[in-house]
């Protein structure tokens, strides 16, 4: 049987009203792993309303990653937020460096879920060049995004430390707090001097984050920096410092 004879009925089933039929067609097309199916699969992903069918489509698209990547990059600028979200999500699974610059641009998307997916995808690629753009997102109110940034910068590790240290001196206390949190996640000893200085921050939230980060990094210098914080003006900071020191 010709390949076209196999593909065409499956393409039609991607438009079926029954989501189970669409899911089965997506899986069968993925099993073919035929680059010629990439355009149809990506278009189906952009318009699919059912979460589970989109997951099957994503799996199938990853199977034809080379052909699909340019199409997904184009989809990052689609008018539909869900399409942009799914494009970033799938690019994260493919982790093709060709998507780095478009994903950095997507960090400015109006939809926070798109931004989170773009950040995650950059971490999956290991895009060190995206670190300044990722750090520029510190201090936002969206918890999912802030959590994603922590995971991504932890993955990028030592490469992220200089930019995060710069953020620790930012004029916005929320940015300084987030920078301290991230340094505690990365646990690079280079962060200890700056975190020790942050213990004198005028904002208790920053001092709290710095104590926690120093405890995570550990070592004699970190412990010595934390000790005086048992007498901090803020009760929460005092309690945290005492608890952290009990474990040393």
CB atoms within 10 A of CB 46: 20
- pLDDT of the residue at 6: 76
Domain spanning 130-248, CATH architecture = Alpha Horseshoe (1.25)
Residue 5, pLDDT above cutoff 70: no
Residue 171, pLDDT above cutoff 70: yes
- pLDDT of the residue at 141: 87
Residue 43, pLDDT above cutoff 70: yes
Q: Take residue 42 and report the two structure tokens written for it.
A: 């990506």
Read off the pLDDT of each residue in 113-123 and give the average, rounded to a whole number: 97
Q: Phi and psi at residue 49, in whole multiples of 5°?
A: -95, -20
- pLDDT of the residue at 1: 42
What is the CATH code for 1-126? Answer: 1.25.10.10
Residue 2, pLDDT above cutoff 60: no
Mean pLDDT (the chain) is 96
Q: Do domains 1-126 and 130-248 have the same CATH topology?
A: yes
Residue 100, pLDDT above cutoff 70: yes
Q: How confident is the model at residue 133 (pLDDT cuts 50, 70, 90)?
A: very high
Positive or negative torsion for Cα 96, 98, 101, 103? negative
Q: Where are the alpha helices (DSSP H) in 95-160?
A: 100-106, 112-125, 131-135, 143-156
- pLDDT of the residue at 7: 87
Read off the pLDDT of each residue in 17-30 and give the average, rounded to a whole number: 96
Read off the pLDDT of each residue in 71-93 and give the average, rounded to a whole number: 98
pLDDT in tens, 60-75: 999 999 999 999 999 9
Q: Phi and psi at residue 236, in whole multiples of 5°?
A: -65, -40
Q: Phi and psi at residue 2, in whole multiples of 5°?
A: -70, 150
Residue 3, pLDDT above cutoff 80: no
Q: Where are the domains of the chain?
A: 1-126, 130-248
Prediction pTM value: 0.91
């Amino acid at each position: 049987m010709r390949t076209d004879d196999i593909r065409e009925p499956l393409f039609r089933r991607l438009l079926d009203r029954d989501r189970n039929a669409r899911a089965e067609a997506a899986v069968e097309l993925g099993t073919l792993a035929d680059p010629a199916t990439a355009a149809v699969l990506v278009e189906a992903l952009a318009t699919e309303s059912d979460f589970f069918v989109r997951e099957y489509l994503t799996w199938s698209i990853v199977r034809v990653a080379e052909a699909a990547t340019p199409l997904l990059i184009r989809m990052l600028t689609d008018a539909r937020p869900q399409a942009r979200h799914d494009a970033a999500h799938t690019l994260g699974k493919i982790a093709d460096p060709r998507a780095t610059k478009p994903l950095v641009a997507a960090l400015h998307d109006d939809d926070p879920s798109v931004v989170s997916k773009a950040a995650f995808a950059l971490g999956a690629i290991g895009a060190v060049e995206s670190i300044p753009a990722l750090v520029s997102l510190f201090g936002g109110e969206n918890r999912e995004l802030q959590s994603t940034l922590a995971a991504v910068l932890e993955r990028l590790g030592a490469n992220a430390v200089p930019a995060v240290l710069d953020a620790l001196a930012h004029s916005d206390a929320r940015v300084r707090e987030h920078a301290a949190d991230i340094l505690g996640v990365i646990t690079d000893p280079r962060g200890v001097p700056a975190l020790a200085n942050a213990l004198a921050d005028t904002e208790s939230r920053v001092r709290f984050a710095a104590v926690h980060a120093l405890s995570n990094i550990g070592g004699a210098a970190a412990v010595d920096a934390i000790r005086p914080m048992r007498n901090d003006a803020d009760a929460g900071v005092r309690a945290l410092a005492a608890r952290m020191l009990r474990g040393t």
